[in-house]
Amino acid sequence: MSSDVGVRVPPRAPRDLTHGAPTGLGRSVHRSGTVEGVSEHRPPRRLALIILVLVAAAGCLGLGYWQWVRFEAVGGTYQNLGYALQWPAFAFFCVYAYRRFVRLEAEEREAESTGGRRPSEPDEPTEIPEDLLPTRPRTLAEAREQEAADPDAQQINEYNEYLAQLARRSDRSAQ
């Protein structure tokens, strides 16, 4: 059989790798990765995010209602009441986080178009305060050096050695 059957397959339009939308036919890929011509203010993923937020918020409200019904039942506890009040807070957070995401995205887009400073970039590097992180473990040599310089540590070590001698003497006398 011949591989030339006479069926011509049209070439595929190049695709935007970030969204999968064809880039030809009057559409162009913006350098931020959005496809212009679809929507300047709402990228194609926006609808999916809205659906996700609505499903998550509805799920949280449904779980809150379920916990309320459990609280009102004969065996309901105050733990059920706590969850019944907590789930709507989670639903509110889903909506809040989405709105915050949209605002930050708009600020980023505005900064990119005006050439100004992006809100996500700090003015200067952030330093971590010395007392915020736990101290790193010392090596045995570092600990001995530090104890040699500290008179209180020397006194405690001498006392501990004295107690160890007493314990050894009592062990010998007990045998």
pLDDT tens-digit readout, 126-139: 888 888 888 778 78
Q: Do 28 and 37 meet the contact criterion of CB atoms below 8 Å apart?
A: yes
In this prediction, residue 148 carries a pLDDT of: 78
47 has pLDDT over 70: yes
Residue 22 per-residue DSSP state:
B
Q: Does residue 114 surpass a pLDDT of 50?
A: yes
d(CA 86, CA 64): 7
Retrieve residue 129's tokens.
Answer: 């305060």
pLDDT band at 35 (very low <50, low <70, confident <90, very high): very low
Q: Is the pLDDT of residue 40 over 60?
A: no
pLDDT at 1 over 50: no
Q: Identify the band that residue 8 occupies on the pLDDT scale cut at 50, 70 and 90.
A: low
What is the overall mean pLDDT for the chain? Answer: 78
- The per-residue b/e assignment along 106-125, b for 16 or more CB within 10 angstroms, e otherwise, is eeebeeeeeeeeeeeeeeee
Helices marked H in the chain: 45-72, 78-114, 140-149, 151-174
pLDDT confidence bin for 26, thresholds 50/70/90: very low
CA distances from 32 to 16, 35, 53, 105, 153 (A): 11, 9, 23, 11, 60
User: pTM to 2 decimals?
Assistant: 0.47
Phi then psi dihedrals of residue 148, to 5 deg: -65, -30
What gap in Å lies between CA 93 and CA 95, rounded to an integer? Answer: 5
